[in-house]
Amino acid sequence: MVEAGVPEPPGRAGRRVFGGLRRLSYRMSLRTKLITSALALVVIALAAISIASVAVLSNYLTTQQDVTVKTVFANFSQLPSNLEANPPGFAYPTHGYQNVYVGIQLPGSQLNPVNSTGSGSLGSGPQSPTLPYVPTSQAWVNANSGKPVTLNSQSGPDSWRVIVAPMTYNGQLATLVVGYDLGNVNGVVQRLILFDLIVGGAIVLVLAAVGVGVIQANLRPLNDIEMTAGQIARGHLNHRVPEHDPRTEIGSLGQSLNTMLSQIETAFHAQEESEQAAHQSEERMRRFIADASHELRTPLTTIRGFAEYYRQRGGVRMDQDQSSRTEGGCSPSANGHAVEGIPPGDLDRIMRRLEAEAARMGLLVEDLLQLARLDQQRPLDVGPVDLLTLAADAVQDARVVEPDRPADLTVAPGTAFIVDGDEARLRQVIGNLVNNALTHTPPGTPVRVRIASGTLPGADGAPVPAAVLDVEDDGPGMTAEQAQHAFERFYRADAARNRSSGGTGLGLAIVAGLVAAHGGTVSLRTAPGEGTDFQVKLPLSPDARADAQEPPSDADSEDRGIHW
């Protein structure tokens, strides 16, 4: 802290000024900085030009008669006797040189012009109304002796170019003065300065107006970037900076910003999708646990109920007289009392129910284990698999299970339907689809299996030859909402979970998982009252792709297909 009355050190004061200017610069907008800087440079340039032009003109006007002045001065300084006939204190015009005056200045006095009656050996000529103001100091005369100097006039706006030298006049010290009347040189210079100020001011104003427009136009892309950043900050991630020439700085910046914004939007959407997927996964897990618990609880409840029934009836107690056992489950003992027990017929029925429930629970556990293996992405036993053989076996099994139901297989010509996959798993896929059609359609409803050629989008987007398997039925079909959830685990169109209407709801989920594991796709086309069509596409093996042809149309498949 600086004490009162103590001057602040220059360095600290300079730092304070610089700090203040820097803070002011931070508070100024870029537009203001550019305009101010441009105008400051223009003003500096105009000032430099004006100063240089004024200096050059002034020097030219004051030095252009130096040769004349030096010539006259040389003539009279070498022959000072030419001046002895003239009285001192007066300046006389010279012969042959206009505006050149010669005189002898006595110490302490100034030169006077010659009056109308005066005459001298120097001759006559134009008389100057005024003369230069020559300092009377002998020291000044000695310092500037023989050198042209510019002096003001004794009165008026004129300037003089003068050469002085000390001399002795009639035994006394005097000063020889040779001067040239330059006229109003300062007036000419001042008019030039005024002209420069007017023209320079006009130039600054015009450049300021033009500069503001140009800077506004060139900063408009930055305004667009600012607006885009504001929209992004408000959550509109799809906004982008307008495209400009990428060879310019603004265009390159905009291109980089758009790339960055695209990556941010992609990452943000990926995060949203991840969070949504995690939420859906959590919901599916909860529903999965609830459904699995419900599915497992039913057979377990049945098994426990029959076990309790067996325990409450005391098991099977054989009396010595087997023939006296009654239908109610009681037999007389040796002492005449009834012995409780389970009749053999009831016991057989209980065992059958226990076996059925255990098999059903085992099937459910197998399905759950299969889904768990799919989730863990365990490797498959991959090898060449003929889909036609698997489809024919599935159709034959359907005919054996339900002889009264029409089940047909149609194969389109053109290629061998060989895929690389796990035969057991692919057999499970076709079997689940056929069983789904048998289970969820009324008895006697036709089921059709079709195999044809098609394509799948490859990793690079190019089409890949594929085998297309369709399992169709003419059943009641599904609504759009039911079709949307058809491949979810434990989803069943029957919300009441009627056991007579279907299985556990895992069959289609297993189909979707196995098809995806083989690099294929599965889709569903259905509508209420129009049946269902499950379509599976699997990429053909490399050997079969060589023989693959363009897939025939639907009409060709109907006309030229092979039917079983």
Q: What is the pLDDT of residue 323?
A: 43
What mean pLDDT is predicted for residues 324-329?
45
Q: What is the pLDDT of residue 381?
A: 79
Average pLDDT, the chain: 76
What mean pLDDT is predicted for residues 377-393?
86
What mean pLDDT is predicted for residues 363-388?
76
pTM exceeds 0.85: no
Geometric angle at alpha carbon 28, from 243 and 203, rounded to 5°: 85
What mean pLDDT is predicted for residues 6-16?
62
Angstrom distances, CA of residue 403 to CA of 132, 399, 438: 142, 5, 12
Q: What is the pLDDT of residue 292?
A: 67
What mean pLDDT is predicted for residues 97-107?
82
Pairing of strands 172-183, 330-332: unpaired
What mean pLDDT is predicted for residues 13-34?
69
Residue 274 φ/ψ, nearest 5 degrees:
-65, -45
Angstrom distances, CA of residue 91 to CA of 84, 179, 510: 13, 9, 128
User: Cα(184)–Cα(190) distance, rounded to whole angstroms?
Assistant: 10
Q: What is the pLDDT of residue 559?
A: 41
> Domain 381-495+503-563's class?
alpha beta
Residue 322 has pLDDT above 50, yes or no: no
Where residue 10 falls among pLDDT bands split at 50, 70, 90?
low
- Return the percentage of the chain with pLDDT > 90, whole number: 11
Highest mean pLDDT among 235-244, 354-363, 411-420: 411-420
Is residue 498 within a helix (H) or strand (E), and if so which, with residue range?
A: none
Look at the chain and count its residues: 564
Q: What is the pLDDT of residue 1?
A: 47
Residue 537 has pLDDT above 90, yes or no: yes
> Domain 242-312+343-378's class?
mainly alpha
pLDDT digits (tens, 9 = 90+) for 258-316: 888 888 888 888 888 888 878 877 776 666 666 666 666 667 777 777 777 776 766 55
Nearest residue to 90 via CA among 183, 177, 164, 167: 177
Pairing of strands 112-113, 90-93: parallel
Residue 198 has pLDDT above 80, yes or no: yes
pLDDT digits (tens, 9 = 90+) for 237-257: 777 777 777 787 777 877 887
Bigger pLDDT: 501 vs 251: 251
